[in-house]
């Protein structure tokens, strides 16, 4: 077949026509940004999303359809009435969950999410362990409750407040409590609900949200959870980031588009504030930043007592002791301890929660439920000596927090870790205290070598933790005298060079710590054997039981060996000999 015949063949002409049609459609979509509308006509997207897509084709059309009500249509009612008013509106601590009737279904998803927070009114009395954060929010609460008094003095409400902190420490609870105290509408949204694959829908949802909030006849709170989902620093990437950029830009426009006198307060929550775009967190948008850390001892005690007050509890529970055993746990984890204890008590058909259930609940939350995996007798003995090494060193050495208990019972969440930790509430530690932590961390490995002649894989997590601590001592705190390695640098190349230069110092610290651990355990071999053999039979020992088995004084008193900046083994032996003498 000749070239002319091929070019004139009906099949070839049909293929050319099809290609031309595809190219024409592609050009049309590129020029007019109507890809989502075309997909909607083809049935490629859900009707609700297609409706939103047609609305974002032009700014004027969007302004006329989103956030504005047709003439004659009354403001939609919300499911709660504010006390003392005739209009419908959210009550104290309730969530504004009503959706404007003309709002597209996919945009309305922003508001329907709010219904998951519906519940009894929340006030500051329902928040424990966050006294400093509550104090900062009290003046905001007073402004929301009586804005005229502040306006008469020329005071303006901050446009935005950023709540920063680890997950589970009460950021959302604080926002709800603020709304409950002030008795104003509360809009809760997750920032991830603004992000869509169709360009423009996220911006449309943000406009709808702010139009609804500003349309209230009274102050309102808009709470955006996980703000980093849309507020990350812009990197100037390609088309794949267009939707994120459009959504963030629209949020910036809305933050600039209303005055403080409008009474709309924006609360944002994130656990990664350092990753947020500078344009989002500058003054004038988020004027305040409140840091919410994990609760300290006093905070944990207050949280435990708050949740325990709502359950039938035995008076024998020692809450100060429980608080001391839960260092590093978040508020949500502490609440989970009380709930787990309730479930355990119900399983035992008890009418009150006792100290036994609380103790088991702490172990469950800290390390997971008991594992059903059977342990071979030889492995059980090795684990017992490993844990006894940690425990005995923590009893003997000063500057190390005493563990609440030592156990060889495997936990489902981490079968290679003991059920206690070396946490400390203090944020400032000396070199001596850090070295003591290193010695205790390597105590399990030292006990294995001293007893069985070789280490096991049981030390994997201990070595990781010890190496991280030693690296911080060398690089971040210059505790080996190498000031040129001090400080933090996020540059990958510089970071790699720093790590390579710091490795000898890290290795030296770890080696010295392990030698000190072996020396102390060798001088207390009879105590190590006594604690380990008791663990083999009873599987769990409290601090008081460990001290009694090891023949040591009351653990509440001063401990017997002071390990300064790695005393030579001979000095350590002499110290132990003097104590025994």
Each residue's pLDDT tens digit, 251-265: 888 887 665 556 688
Q: Dihedral of the CA atoms 268, 272, 273, 279 (nearest 10)? A: -80
Q: How confident is the model at residue 577 (pLDDT cuts 50, 70, 90)?
A: very low
Statement: 377-580 belongs to CATH 3.30.70.100: no
Residue 451 pLDDT more than 60?
A: yes
Query: What's the mean pLDDT when you consider all of the chain?
Result: 73
pLDDT tens, position by position, 487-498: 555 555 455 656
Higher local confidence (pLDDT), 2 or 223: 223
**Domain boundary assignment for the chain:** 21-57, 89-292, 300-367, 377-580
Q: How far apart (Å, rounded) are the C-alpha atoms in residues 533 and 197?
A: 61
Which positions ≥6 away from 537 have C-beta within 8 Å?
Answer: none
C-alpha separations of 5 from 8, 17, 30, 413, 438 in Å: 5, 17, 35, 73, 85
DSSP state of 479: T
Q: Which listed CATH number (3.30.230.10, 3.40.640.10, 3.40.50.300, 1.10.3720.10) goes with 89-292?
A: 3.40.50.300
Tell me whether the CATH fold assigned to 89-292 matches the one assigned to 300-367.
Answer: no
Residue 144: pLDDT band by 50, 70, 90 thresholds?
confident
Largest CA distance in the chain: 112
Average pLDDT over residues 264-277: 87
Alpha-carbon gap, residue 513 to 566, rounded angstroms: 7
Under 8 Å between Cβ of 169 and 295: yes
Q: Report the alpha-carbon distance of residue 140 to residue 235 in Å, rounded.
A: 34
Q: Which tens digits make up the pLDDT trace of 73-126?
A: 333 333 333 333 333 333 333 344 333 444 444 444 444 343 334 567 788 999
**98-107, 134-143, 182-191: range with lowest mean pLDDT:** 98-107
CATH topology of domain 300-367: Helicase, Ruva Protein; domain 3 (1.10.8)
* Angle separating helix axes 201-214 and 105-112, nearest 10 degrees: 60
For residues 125 and 70, the model is more confident at: 125
Strand (E) or helix (H) holding 163 = strand 160-165
**Range in 234-248, 473-487, 496-510, 525-539 with the lowest mean pLDDT:** 234-248
Q: Quote the tokens at residue 393.
A: 């060193």
Res. 243 pLDDT band, cuts 50 70 90: low
* 3-state SS class at 529: helix
Q: Determine the average pLDDT of the residues in 367-381.
A: 68
Helix H or strand E encompassing 268: strand 264-270
Q: Model-level pTM?
A: 0.56
Question: Three-state DSSP class for 267?
Answer: strand
Going by the DSSP 8-state scheme, the letter that residue 562 receives in this structure is -
Give the residue-averaged pLDDT of 404-419: 58
Residue 55's pLDDT is 43
| Sheet with 288-292, edge to edge strand ranges | 186-190, 220-225, 264-270, 160-165, 288-292
Is 514 annotated as catalytic? no
Helix (H) or strand (E) holding 7, with range, is helix 3-8
Contact yes or no for 289/281 (Cβ under 8 A): yes
Q: Which of 281, 272, 273, 181 is nearest to 221 (CA)?
A: 181
Residues 387, 448, 475, 514: which is the catalytic one?
387
Residues in a beta bridge with 540? 407
For β-strands 220-225 and 160-165, DSSP reports them as unpaired
């Amino acid at each position: 077949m000749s070239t002319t015949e091929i070019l004139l063949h009906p099949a070839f002409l049909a293929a050319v026509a099809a290609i031309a049609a595809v190219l024409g459609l592609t050009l049309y979509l590129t020029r007019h940004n109507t890809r989502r509308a075309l997909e909607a006509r083809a049935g490629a997207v859900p009707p609700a999303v297609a409706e939103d897509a047609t609305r974002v084709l032009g700014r004027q059309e969007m302004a006329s359809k989103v956030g504005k009500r047709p003439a004659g249509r009354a403001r939609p009612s919300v499911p709660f009435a504010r006390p003392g008013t005739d209009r419908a509106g959210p009550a104290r601590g309730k969530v504004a969950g009503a959706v404007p009737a003309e709002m597209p279904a996919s945009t309305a998803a922003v508001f329907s999410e709010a219904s998951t927070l519906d519940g009894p009114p929340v006030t500051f009395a329902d928040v424990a362990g966050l006294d400093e954060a509550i104090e900062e929010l009290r003046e905001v609460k007073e402004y929301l409750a009586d804005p005229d008094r502040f306006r008469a003095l020329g005071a303006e409400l901050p446009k935005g407040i950023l709540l920063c902190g680890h997950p589970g420490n009460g950021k959302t609870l604080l926002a709800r409590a603020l709304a409950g105290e002030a008795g104003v509408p509360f809009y809760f949204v997750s920032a991830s609900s603004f992000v869509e694959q169709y360009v423009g829908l996220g911006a449309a949802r943000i406009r709808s949200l702010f139009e609804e909030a500003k349309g209230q006849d009274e102050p309102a709170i808009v709470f955006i959870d996980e703000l980093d989902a849309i507020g990350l620093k812009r990197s100037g990437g390609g088309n794949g980031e267009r939707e994120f950029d459009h959504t963030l830009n629209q949020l910036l426009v809305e933050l600039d588009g209303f005055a403080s006198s409008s009474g709309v307060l924006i609360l944002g929550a994130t656990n990664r504030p350092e990753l947020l775009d500078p344009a989002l967190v500058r003054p004038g948008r988020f004027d305040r930043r409140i840091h919410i850390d994990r609760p300290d001892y006093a905070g944990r005690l207050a949280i435990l007592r708050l949740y325990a007050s709502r359950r039938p509890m035995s008076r024998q529970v020692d809450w100060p002791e429980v608080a001391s055993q839960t260092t590093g746990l978040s508020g949500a984890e502490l609440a989970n301890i009380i709930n787990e204890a309730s479930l355990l008590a119900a399983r035992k058909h008890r009418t009150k929660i006792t100290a036994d259930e609380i103790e088991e609940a702490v172990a469950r939350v800290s390390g997971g439920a008991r594992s059903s995996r059977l342990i071979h007798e030889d492995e059980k003995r090795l684990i017992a000596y490993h844990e006894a090494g940690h425990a005995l060193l923590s009893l003997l050495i000063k500057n190390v927090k005493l563990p609440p208990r030592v156990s060889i019972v495997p936990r489902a969440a981490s079968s290679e870790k003991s059920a206690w930790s070396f946490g400390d509430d203090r944020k400032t530690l000396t070199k001596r205290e850090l070295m003591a932590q290193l010695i205790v961390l390597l105590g399990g490995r030292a006990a294995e070598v001293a007893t069985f002649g070789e280490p096991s894989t049981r030390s994997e997590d201990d070595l990781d933790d010890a190496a991280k601590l030693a690296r911080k001592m060398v690089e971040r705190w210059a505790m080996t005298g190498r000031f040129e390695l001090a400080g933090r640098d996020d540059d990958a190349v510089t970071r790699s060079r720093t790590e390579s230069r710091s490795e000898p110092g890290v290795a030296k610290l770890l080696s010295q710590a392990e030698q000190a651990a072996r020396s102390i355990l060798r001088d207390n071999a009879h105590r190590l054997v006594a604690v380990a053999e008791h663990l083999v039979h009873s599987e769990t020992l409290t601090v008081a039981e460990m001290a009694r088995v090891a023949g040591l004084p009351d653990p509440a008193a001063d401990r017997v060996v002071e390990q300064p900046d790695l005393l030579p083994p001979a000095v350590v032996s002499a110290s132990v000999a003097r104590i025994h003498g």
